[in-house]
Chain A
Amino acid sequence: MPDSLTRAVRWDTVVGALFVVVLLLSFTTVDGFGNALNLSFLIGNTLPIALIALPMTLLVVSGEIDLSVASTAGLSGAVMGALWNQGMAIETIIPLCLLLGVVCGLVNGLLVTRLGLPSLAVTIGTLAAYRGIAQIVLGSDAVTDFPSAYLDFAAGRIGDTFVPYAFLPFLVLLAIAVVALHATPFGRSLFAIGAGEEAARFAGVRVRRQKLILFTVTGLMSALTGVFWALHYASARYDNATGLELSVVAAVLLGGIDFDGGRGTLGGAIAGVFLLGALQNVMSLRDVSAQSQIVVTGALLVLSVLGPRVARQIAVARAGRRAATAPDPKTPAPTS
């Protein structure tokens, strides 16, 4: 296996171990954590982060970022509420919302790929713009009276288990994302773009097309998350999911995805997501205020940029020692 991967895997292990430690500590020391109902809440509340983290991981691997995801989710929820108030059928509304997400993503993608603008700047702009449109669309209304079958699906769990219904479709999407990133030529090209965009272009990789696809899918997934959010919390408001982009980016970076692109695994990113979700759940159970939770998320963001770098330096130092004692480096080893 190439160095970049083994290094990332090492950080994955760190995050995975951290996740286990947090779970064990929470099971033993936090009242009300271990029961199935709370665990289903934990998963349900983490799903919005997880859903957006899937395309975000691919985006960051290719060296780009989208900070407008939470606003796109909010806009999608607001449009859903407004159309529902107009009396449109929910079966029509949801596809329209998803289409809207595609448009939001396309706008980001076209601004980045056609005009060559930095995605950080573009999506900070659309972060404000999409949220503003959401407020224009729905005002300060809260729409809550969606059909109960949908609400039950989005908020309910399978029998008395800790598994929310919505977790199952997420697993399917996760599988698709893992395959796309780690087992297809498309995914391979994303790593190349992130690590050396010009060289990727000279090797025939269609850089702009790949990026446009990623931004579009990110918009679509953000809109899907907006729909899920409104149903899960039975409330469509213009300010749904505000600040969610911070959690998503923190979780993805915590999972070992290099902010500079070209490095990381989806497994690590998802471990980062659920580590963050578990921490947020514990803090809520311990009555930590929402503001303090944001502080913790911010601190994790910094830690997550620092952590993989330190891990990599340790790995490099170790590889250096190994190379110094290696018996015969001449034979090309067919190892993995």
Chain B
Amino acid sequence: MTHPSDTGPAPVLALKGISKSFGAVRALRDVSLELFPGEVHALAGENGAGKSTLIKTLAGVHRPDAGQVLLDGAPVVFHGPGDARDAGIAVIYQEPTLFPDLSIAENIFMGRQPRRALRRIDHRATREATTALMKRLGVELDPDRPARGLSIADQQIVEIAKALSFDARVLIMDEPTAALTHSEVARLFGVVRALRDQGAAVLFISHRLEEIFDICRRVTTLRDGAWIASEPLDGMTEDDLIRRMVGRDLAELYPKQDVTPGEVALSVRRLTREGVFTDVSFDVRRGEIVGLAGLVGAGRTEVARAVFGIDRRDAGEVEVDGRRLTNGAPSTAMAAGLALVPEDRRAQGLVMDMSIERNIGLTGLGATVRAGLMDRGAERSRSLDWAVKLRVKYARIADTVNTLSGGNQQKVVLAKWLATRPKVLIVDEPTRGIDVGTKAEVHRLLSQLAADGVAVLMISSDLPEVLGMADRVLVMHEGRLTAEIPRTDATEETVMAAATGRAA
């Protein structure tokens, strides 16, 4: 393997020929990886490619069946996460686990605070140590501030500071940006660059390819548990990387079909929710995919909630196929042919403890009824039908949805709503946190739905997705609709200009 000599002579941490099986499942097969100080290294692969297993092997959670972990060139065996931490390896997970009522300083030094006489905690020393850590990271965070109320990005920065306090030399970041906004990602990346420049080795995992290209120097790709390549990102394109991950060309990531829009299916007029969004009017026609873009907090999700009736609107009208919707009543919106795939699939899209069958069945309680009683046969065949149509991967339809992967959970949410045969489908961040293969499937599905005459409103923070899929792009900025851009004129520049309020 070659790498530029200026990154230093030897890898700080390396995996050689690692294999790991769980029962009959071979999660990792002969995987090698080298992490150099002062370098951010990307780990790419679809869900189920073995990324998590690899991270857990590095973190001492799993012990490999074969192969070696080398620390500074010498083989080591981690008997548990404590060993890995003592060796200077820290993992930052997607969802930070801080104590909300403790201060930043207390969180960082939890369980090992500096002591004064009589074993009392030395608050001043704790605070000073925290300030020093924050300075190294180049951020300003008050050590006395409680963790509650910190943005997720700041919580992750606290986790990084905690890792530094353990003298971590290797930082593993498992999808840290999945829940972050654009500006928060920038803030986090600032910290990661500062660490890199101080000589830390960083392993970075993200489904957002542009982030990988932004911050990483080299990438290791896994597919189905096997090592595919380790190579510099210089000179690679996103398509190259996708081909490595998926094993085939994915020209069809945005398989948008051309359609001639039909009559108006969803009409929103002067919709207002005080203090949240104001005077929002737009139409979506049959066969159209309309993208709704904007920064996080611009009010896009809130508009969708008010249209569907989860929240009450203070003013304005919503019509579906010419039928005016009752204010604040999702059940009448559903009856009129409206469906909403919500942004938070774990809390809003699915009842995690219920079966796939019952989750899909939940939108059909009115339909699978005979003489007032549940028709269980009809309920089951409706659920099976849609689970199969959307190619949900499951063992039994009676399994609870929390046993499924994120992408398959999202397919269950889509199945649940497509089973209502909607005329208008609103999807809010339909591909967040799911791998590129499933993402392409979702896009193909949306395109097919539109071709079949469904009106689709797609809210997404994934700009390439909006540009690739939408016939028209609506842009919101600070609670107002600021632009409507036809497909031919929509570029990253025009959309971002409107989203940040710079539009003419």
Chain A residues engaging chain B, CB cutoff 8 angstroms: 1-4, 179, 183-185, 187-189, 191-192, 195-196, 198-206, 262-263, 323-324, 326, 329-330, 332-336
12 further contact pairs, Cβ within 8 A, besides A195-B351, A196-B351: A3-B355, A4-B353, A184-B373, A187-B374, A196-B352, A200-B362, A202-B348, A203-B362, A262-B353, A326-B395, A332-B397, A333-B396
Q: Is B366 an interface residue (CB 8 A)?
A: yes
Closest to B24 in A: A324
When the two chains form their complex, are residues A2 and B362 in contact, meaning their CB atoms are under 8 A apart? no
Closest to A1 in B: B398
Supposing A188-B374, A192-B362 touch, asked if A199 and B349 sit within 8 A by C-beta, the answer is yes
When the two chains form their complex, are residues B395 and A199 in contact, meaning their CB atoms are under 8 A apart? no
Count of A-B contacts judged by CB separation below 8 Å = 105
Q: Is B244 an interface residue (CB 8 A)?
A: no
Interface string of B193-204 (1 = CB under 8 A from A): 000000000000
* Bound Cα distance A334, B383 (Å): 12
Interface residues of B in 257-314 (CB under 8 A from A): 310
Chain B residues engaging chain A, CB cutoff 8 angstroms: 23, 310, 330-331, 333-334, 340, 342, 347-355, 357-358, 361-363, 365-366, 369, 372-374, 380, 384, 387-388, 394-400, 416
The 6 closest A-B pairs by CB, nearest first: A196-B351, A185-B365, A2-B355, A329-B395, A203-B362, A204-B331
In the bound complex, residues from chain B placing their C-beta under 8 Å from that of A326 are 395
* Bound Cα distance A219, B478 (Å): 47
When the two chains form their complex, are residues A183 and B374 in contact, meaning their CB atoms are under 8 A apart? yes
B363 touches which of A204, A324, A332 (Cβ 8 Å): A204
In the bound complex, residues from chain B placing their C-beta under 8 Å from that of A1 are 398
When the two chains form their complex, are residues B398 and A2 in contact, meaning their CB atoms are under 8 A apart? yes
When the two chains form their complex, are residues B400 and A2 in contact, meaning their CB atoms are under 8 A apart? yes
In the bound complex, residues from chain B placing their C-beta under 8 Å from that of A198 are 347-348
When the two chains form their complex, are residues B396 and A202 in contact, meaning their CB atoms are under 8 A apart? no
In the bound complex, residues from chain A placing their C-beta under 8 Å from that of B416 are 203
A335 touches which of B366, B388, B398, B400 (Cβ 8 Å): B398
A102 to chain B, nearest CB (A): 23
Interface of B is mostly: mixed
In the bound complex, residues from chain B placing their C-beta under 8 Å from that of A200 are 351, 362
When the two chains form their complex, are residues B365 and A189 in contact, meaning their CB atoms are under 8 A apart? yes
Closest to B387 in A: A332
When the two chains form their complex, are residues A192 and B351 in contact, meaning their CB atoms are under 8 A apart? yes
In the bound complex, residues from chain B placing their C-beta under 8 Å from that of A195 are 351-354
* Bound Cα distance A179, B373 (Å): 8
In the bound complex, residues from chain A placing their C-beta under 8 Å from that of B333 are 204
* Bound Cα distance A330, B396 (Å): 8
* Bound Cα distance A191, B374 (Å): 14
* Bound Cα distance A332, B395 (Å): 6
In the bound complex, residues from chain A placing their C-beta under 8 Å from that of B365 are 185, 188-189, 205
* Bound Cα distance A323, B403 (Å): 12
A201 touches which of B310, B350, B373, B395 (Cβ 8 Å): B310
Interface centre among A192, A262, A330 (most CB of B within 10 A): A192
B403 to chain A, nearest CB (A): 9
When the two chains form their complex, are residues A199 and B400 in contact, meaning their CB atoms are under 8 A apart? no
A and B contact pairs by CB, cutoff 8 A, 21 listed: A2-B355, A2-B398, A183-B373, A184-B373, A185-B365, A188-B365, A188-B374, A192-B362, A195-B353, A199-B362, A202-B340, A202-B349, A205-B362, A206-B331, A262-B354, A329-B395, A329-B396, A332-B384, A332-B388, A333-B396, A334-B380
When the two chains form their complex, are residues B374 and A199 in contact, meaning their CB atoms are under 8 A apart? no
Closest to B338 in A: A204
B356 to chain A, nearest CB (A): 9
Interface centre among A192, A195, A202 (most CB of B within 10 A): A202
